[in-house]
Structure formats: structure tokens, C-alpha cells
Amino acid sequence: MANYDIIIDRNSGIRTTYSDGSTAQAKLKMTRRDKEEVEGLLKLIETDRNSVNKSLLQKIGSILSAALFTPPIAGHFGAAQAQSGNNGLRIRLIIENPQIARYPWEALYHQGHFLSTWNQTPFVRGVPITGSSKRPTMTTPLKILVVVSNPDSPGFHRLNTEREIENIMLSLDDSNTGKKVQVVTERTGTRQRILKHMRSGANFNIIHFIGHGDVSSGKATLVLETEDDSKPDFLNYDDLGNMLQN
């Protein structure tokens, strides 16, 4: 599968790069009206989760898609799709402008598909990296903490978390892989229990979260549990970063 990188810089300039080395550049065309409409729809979702439906997500995704896929970018992306054929494109989106990054780009709706859920376009959000970075050394075994959060609260349907855990374990069910990877599963995803694991000295390399995401106070959040499971606990990315650093 070929790679397709999309970078939106701090000045809202767009630069795309395909695996063959070809590139395209343009400017994000997101008007003030577009921003107000997206923010209004996100506010609606935040205040009334029952309002979330495919049509609403398509509307948000279409606005973001029109802003991103201007003619130069759409042409380059289309050419990359044609060249990759049925093998698909692995899309990596990196946004350096924090005001633009806060929008739900995972909802991008282009050519009749949500790119993040279409099997032809695996989609991930990348993190801007400033300065030089040194590849860390890693010793085996690779340590993975699987955190499960499945609060029994209105507005959040119950997830089949055991099936995802089973899929993870099956993917590692290999005599060679098993010796190189250790998995710890926390089935009660609260802040306190995550912190306990982080302070245990296990030095986890990967944290895999199984649960819901949401928007709270204009910020993307993970939906954690509380100890008595009386209500969901919304953990935004700032608090998550502080938790992992401390």
C-alpha cells in the first residue's frame, strides 16, 4: 500500500507527498462561514449526543473536504489513487496550525466515503515534530498496556471490548512474537488505574485504548470510567499528555 502524506502548516498552507516523490501545494480554503458552521455542529454534538448521525457527520466531513481538496490537491490525490489502484492509499495527516487541528478531520468525507473508515484509505493523524529527533533504542520485550473503558452511561453504547482484546492477542499469537511482546490489560479504564500502571515502573512502550471518544468543551477527549461507574470521565489531550509525562 502506498503512502500519501498531507501537511497543513501554521499558515494554512497544504503540502501533499505521494510515495513516488510527487508533491502538490495549495492553500486551505476554509472560510469564516465554514468554521462557524463546523463549530456550530460540534457544539450541537457536545450538548446533544443523540443528534449525532451519519448525515451530520457527512456535513462536517464535506465542509472539511472542500477546504482541503482544492483543485491542485484533489488532482494530485486523484492521480495517486489511480496509480495505487486497488492497493489503496495510506493517508497520514499532520496539522501544525492548532486552530485547524482541533477540527474532527477524521470525519473527512470525500468522493462518497469517510476516508477514515474506507478500506482503500487507512487514515491516521500524525503529530508535528519540531527540531531533530533521535531514534530511541528499544529493548525487548515490547511492553503494551491495553486500557479498556466501557462506561455504563446514557449516550454511550456498550462496546464488545473482549472481542478487540481477543483480536489483539490473536495477532500476537506467534511463538516468535510472543517472546518479544508483553501485554498488560486494564479492564477498568479510570485515571487512577492508568496512573497506577504508569507509575509501576513497567515502562510501557505502547498504550492501546479501547473505548469511546468524544468532544467536551471544544476539545477531543477519551471517555474514561469512574471508580463507581456512575458517570463518564472525559480526559482531554492536554490532561492525557500531562498524565503520560508525569
Q: Can you read off the three cell numbers belonging to residue 175?
A: 511463538
Of the pLDDT bands very low, low, confident and very high (cuts 50, 70, 90), residue 23 is very high
DSSP letter at 49 equals: G
pLDDT at 64: 96
Percent of the chain with pLDDT over 70: 93
- CB proximity list for 76: less than 8 A, separation 6 or greater: 16, 18, 22, 23, 24
Q: Can you read off the three cell numbers belonging to residue 206?
A: 505502547
Tally Cβ neighbours within 10 Å of residue 63.
Answer: 22
Cβ(85)–Cβ(47) below 8 Å: no
pLDDT over 70 at 136, yes or no: no
pLDDT at 188: 93
In this structure, are strands 142-148 and 181-186 parallel, antiparallel, or unpaired?
A: parallel
pLDDT over 90 at 148, yes or no: yes
State pLDDT tens for residues 165-224. 998 888 887 655 657 889 999 999 999 999 999 888 888 989 999 999 887 776 788 999
Under DSSP, is residue 151 helix (H, G, I), strand (E, B) or coil? coil
Nearest Cα residue to 184 out of 201, 199, 204, 166: 204
Phi, psi for 40 (deg, rounded to 5): -65, -40
DSSP letter at 12 equals: S
pLDDT at 134: 64
pLDDT at 79: 96
State pLDDT tens for residues 94-119. 999 988 988 999 999 999 999 988 98
Phi, psi for 219 (deg, rounded to 5): -120, 145
pTM above 0.75, yes or no: no
24-38: string of b/e by CB count within 10 Å (b at 16+)?
bebebebeeebeeeb
pLDDT at 52: 79
- CA–CA dist 222, 168 (Å, integer): 20
